[in-house]
């Protein structure tokens, strides 16, 4: 699982810590400075969602399978049955066979590995050997299938694998029918909480959301959504009854906030311990709706805290983003927020799948000042 955990961190290659978390901006009280009771926010603008995937996503990956740590091979010098050996590619990418020292096969195809073994054997054998190399198990190329699935986990993939095939590996999303079969179990009374929310499910590839609609695929049979997965992809299906608001960006502690009745924007930001220095408070965004059909509203948070405008009410599932700089277009702003959101969830859910003793992390996108990749903190049991 260590190699798989490292591959998960690759999802965050473009995600940067915003700034030193000791530098804070103004601190806000949840109900201070507002001119009236929080108002219902209706000024949302639909933005281009995931829609129909790029046709290229429906084509199988053209890259051949390459070896990596954990892959299991059966190797034999043809004509000598005593040389049959099952060996595993080590964490350093090397394998050991016969009289050979460790050979670095990380990133090689099976054919390239075979040629390398035969070439190195010439140093020890009089006649040119012929070698057979058979792949017996794959651990280096995996996909993460997490969330409300019947069998969530990390699954190896050998060849081209479609999204529907991956869902089949994980037993499909948790549904009322599957829960009913477990109703007599010790948690039968609470099993309804595990229903899957396909509208807010997503696929992450190299830190970015992949344009695919899980609801259309699984509920409406839209096969244009049945994309091919790549090694390292993460598929996540959240619970349908999750009642959280996500506060990200230029706040002291980016986090999810438990939703409560009449939760306002100011209260949610205060729960994330307020904004940090240099936050661009006049362009705070609220993203609402499914990930395939998101809507965005931009509010002047500074005016709200000064009592010049009323605070606004939030809804479960809202994503609040405090930026470092003004946005240029709503669509690019929304896409950046959604990529921040899915990367945050991917890191935390992937870390939890490795260890339950994980302190969740918040993720921000910096304003060009650089930073380090956030790492989930694993607490010893």
What pLDDT, on the 0 to 100 scale, is given for residue 371?
31
Whole-number Å distance between alpha carbons of 166 and 53: 17
Whole-number Å distance between alpha carbons of 262 and 70: 51
| 366 contacts 21 by C-beta, under 8 angstroms | no
Q: Please name every residue paired with 245 in a beta bridge, in sequence order, or none if there are none.
A: 257
- Domain 154-237 is in which class? alpha beta
CATH 3.10.560.10 fits 2-53+242-378, yes or no: yes
Q: Taking the alpha carbons of 64, 70, 71, 73 in that order, is the dihedral positive or negative?
A: positive
Contacts of 234 (CB under 8 A, 6+ apart): 8, 11, 143, 144, 146, 203, 204, 346, 349, 350
What pLDDT, on the 0 to 100 scale, is given for residue 361?
53
| 206 contacts 213 by C-beta, under 8 angstroms | no
What pLDDT, on the 0 to 100 scale, is given for residue 159?
82
Whole-number Å distance between alpha carbons of 340 and 110: 37
| 266 contacts 304 by C-beta, under 8 angstroms | yes
Residue 74: how many other CB atoms lie within 10 Å? 14
What pLDDT, on the 0 to 100 scale, is given for residue 303?
95
CATH fold match for the domains 2-53+242-378 and 72-137: no
What is the signed CA dihedral for 328, 331, 334, 336, rounded to 10 degrees? -70
Domains of the chain by residue range: 2-53+242-378, 72-137, 154-237
- Domain 72-137 is in which class? alpha beta
**Strand blocks (E) in 26-106:** 45-46, 72-77, 85-88, 94-95, 103-104
The stretches in the chain having pLDDT less than 50 are 1-2, 5, 9-35, 178-193, 363-381
What pLDDT, on the 0 to 100 scale, is given for residue 26?
42
């Amino acid at each position: 699982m260590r190699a798989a955990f490292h591959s998960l961190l690759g999802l965050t290659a473009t995600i940067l810590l915003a700034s030193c978390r000791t530098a804070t901006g103004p601190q806000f009280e949840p109900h201070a400075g507002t001119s009236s009771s929080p108002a219902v926010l209706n000024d949302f603008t639909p933005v281009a969602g995931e829609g129909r995937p790029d046709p290229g996503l429906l084509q199988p990956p053209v890259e051949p399978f390459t070896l990596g740590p954990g892959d299991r091979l059966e190797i034999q010098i043809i004509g000598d049955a005593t040389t049959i050996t099952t060996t595993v590619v080590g964490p350093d990418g090397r394998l050991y066979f016969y009289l050979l020292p460790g050979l670095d096969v990380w990133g090689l195809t099976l054919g390239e590995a075979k040629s390398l073994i035969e070439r190195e054997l010439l140093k020890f054998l009089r006649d040119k050997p012929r070698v057979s190399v058979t792949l017996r198990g794959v651990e280096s190329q995996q996909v993460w299938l997490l969330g409300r699935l019947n069998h969530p986990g990390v699954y190896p993939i050998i060849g081209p694998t479609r999204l529907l095939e991956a869902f089949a590996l994980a037993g499909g999303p948790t549904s009322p029918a599957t829960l009913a079969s477990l109703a007599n179990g010790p948690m039968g009374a609470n099993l309804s909480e595990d229903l899957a929310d396909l509208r807010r499910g997503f696929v992450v590839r190299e830190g970015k959301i992949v344009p695919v609609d899980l609801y259309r695929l699984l509920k409406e049979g839209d096969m244009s959504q049945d994309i091919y997965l790549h090694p390292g992809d993460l598929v996540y299906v959240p619970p349908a009854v999750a009642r959280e608001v996500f506060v990200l960006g230029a706040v002291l502690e980016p986090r999810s906030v438990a939703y409560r009745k009449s939760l306002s924007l100011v209260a949610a930001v205060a729960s994330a311990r307020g904004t940090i220095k240099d936050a661009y408070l006049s362009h705070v965004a609220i993203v609402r709706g499914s990930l395939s059909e998101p809507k965005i509203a931009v509010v002047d948070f500074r005016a709200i805290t000064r009592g010049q405008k009323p605070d606004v009410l939030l809804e479960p599932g809202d994503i609040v983003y405090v930026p470092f700089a003004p946005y240029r277009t709503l669509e690019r702003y929304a896409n950046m927020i959604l990529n921040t959101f899915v990367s945050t969830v991917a890191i935390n859910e992937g870390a939890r799948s490795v260890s339950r003793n994980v302190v969740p992390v918040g993720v921000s996108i910096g304003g060009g000042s650089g930073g380090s990749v956030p790492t989930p903190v694993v607490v010893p049991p």
